[in-house]
Amino acid sequence: MPAPDPEVSVSALDLVRTFQIGENSIEVLKGVSLDVLQGETLFLVGPSGAGKTSLLYTLAGLEKPNAGEVFINGKSLYRLGRHEQARVRNTSLGYVFQSFFLLPELTALENVLVPALIRGRQARSRAQELLERVGLEGRTGHLPSELSGGEQQRVAIARALINDPAILFADEPTGNLDTATGASVMNLLMELVNERRRTLLVVTHDQTLARAGDRKVTLIDGRIVD
């Protein structure tokens, strides 16, 4: 195997992902290969059912492929042991989801702290700093139910950044937001990522939004078409 390219943050090689539905096997990813450069903002677009989210989750270490490999900073992710995979996800990768996935019983500040606590870090001042950075300095003690959708997504962005990951994955991060709020949240996410030259992969159905990135990749029927 050739030496890893230090400029490549995420690399996929011949990814195949299938799902079993009853007696039917549905192939969602059909030999996808992709390199994402360090510091690049890449948008994955395509019609519903094209495999965008499956590709993102497979690249992010959340869904193991049936075949093929994923490399994170040159290391084959799915060849690592379970605990090492978990360590990479916690320390090197950050996640922002369409449905926020905030813990309802925790305040905004406590939600942001969760990945740091898993890592064994005391990061309260860092969490407060991030919440200020995303414009929520006055909402740190509020529960998710007391926040708007846009505010909840800003909490989720702060949570994704708490361990200063090199790579962020965002699955339809504006999908549950109105157009204006979604644009504001996406601009904020890209600004925070660009400040520290982090890598960002975003799944979106919004072609206008996708033009804001460094590169757009289109999936159709489980294959990259451009």
Residue 76 scores a pLDDT above 90: yes
Q: Is 74 within a domain? A: no
Cα 222 from Cα 220, distance rounded (Å): 6
> How much is the pLDDT for 173?
92
> Mind spelling out the 3-state secondary structure of 102-164?
CCCCCCHHHHHHHHHHHHCCCCHHHHHHHHHHCCCCCCCCCCHHHCCHHHHHHHHHHHHHCCC
Lowest mean per-residue pLDDT among 57-61, 92-96, 197-201, 210-214: 210-214
In a domain, 124, yes or no: yes
| 56 assigned to some structural domain | no
Per-residue confidence (pLDDT) for residue 206, from 0 to 100: 86
Average pLDDT score over residue span 135-147: 95
Quote the mean pLDDT of the chain: 92
The whole-number average pLDDT for the span 3-31 is 88
In angstroms, rounded to a whole number, what is the distance separating the alpha carbons of residues 8 and 183?
Answer: 28
In a domain, 161, yes or no: yes
pLDDT at 224: 95
In contact, 98 and 172? CB cutoff 8 Å: yes
pTM of the model: 0.92
Instruction: Count the neighbouring beta carbons within 10 Å of the beta carbon of residue 108.
Output: 27
pLDDT above 50: residue 31? yes
Q: How far is CA 125 from CA 58, 116, 137, 222, 225, in A?
A: 33, 12, 12, 43, 45
Stretch 11-35: mean pLDDT:
93
pLDDT band at 3 (very low <50, low <70, confident <90, very high): very low
Residue 151 belongs to domain with CATH number: 3.40.50.300
Domain that holds residue 83: 39-51+79-217
Task: Give the total number of structural domains in the chain.
Answer: 1
Q: Indicate if the pLDDT at residue 108 is higher than 90.
A: yes
